[in-house]
């Protein structure tokens, strides 16, 4: 499933919304509504303050693991999402899960991009913890930083150059 998460949008739940080029199912959307936005992207606004911008053709599921009617994670299988999650004290962090990685936050704005071979995570605001899906030692990203998570090799935090940031954000209509 593809998607880029912006500003805190990553949540898994038992009920889900499958998204692919503006196709959504099932009807139980965990308090989120979708609308088309710039450059063919789709914006999901959720009643718990989470906003997700999905790249055109992104494939992902919105999830509500604790079944409280609000998304708490996103499972992204392809393309990119931009996620924005409002800060909230305590509680379980919002997560974005990909085939290679888990990115978790309590309040921030970030993007996640998935290809077959790797997951790239970039932080626009706040801090995001990133680890491999298979667990292991993770890293914490600050604003302007990103990491590429591949099947093997170290998780190396890097400051992303403006051309890379601009290219990703353009795909998300930013």
As a whole number, the mean pLDDT across the chain is: 82
Number of domains in the chain: 1
Per-residue pLDDT for 90 more than 90?
Answer: no
More confident residue, 46 or 4: 46
| Cα gap 127→140, rounded to integer Å | 7
Residue 133: is its pLDDT beyond 60? yes
Prediction pTM value: 0.81
Give me the mean pLDDT over the 130-138 stretch. Answer: 87
Q: What is the pLDDT of residue 29?
A: 64
Of 7 and 122, more confident? 122
pLDDT 10s digits, 141-165: 999 999 999 988 899 999 999 999 9
CATH of the domain at 54: 2.60.120.1440
Task: Tell me the pLDDT tens digit for each residue of 6-31.
Answer: 333 332 222 233 333 333 333 356 78
pLDDT tens for each residue of 25-50: 333 567 899 998 877 899 999 988 99
**Contact between residue 5 and residue 63 where contact means Cβ atoms under 8 Å apart:** no
Give CA angle at 113 (20, 55), nearest 5°.
40
Domain of residue 146, residue span: 2-171
């Amino acid at each position: 499933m593809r998607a880029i998460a912006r500003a805190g949008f990553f949540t898994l739940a038992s009920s889900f919304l499958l998204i692919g080029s503006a196709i959504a199912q099932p009807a139980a959307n965990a308090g989120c509504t979708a609308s088309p936005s710039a450059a063919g992207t789709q914006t999901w606004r959720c009643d718990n303050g989470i906003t997700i911008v999905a790249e055109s053709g992104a494939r992902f599921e919105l999830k509500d693991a604790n079944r409280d009617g609000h998304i708490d994670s996103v499972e992204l299988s392809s393309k990119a999402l931009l996620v924005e999650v409002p800060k909230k004290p305590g509680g379980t962090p919002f997560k974005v899960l990909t085939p290679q990685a888990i990115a978790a936050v309590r309040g921030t704005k970030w993007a996640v991009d998935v290809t077959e071979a790797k997951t790239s995570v970039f932080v626009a605001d706040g801090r995001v913890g990133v680890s491999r899906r298979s667990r292991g030692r993770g890293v914490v990203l600050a604003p302007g930083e990103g990491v590429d998570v591949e099947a093997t090799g170290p998780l190396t935090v890097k400051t992303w150059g403006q051309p890379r940031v601009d290219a990703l954000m353009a795909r998300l209509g930013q």
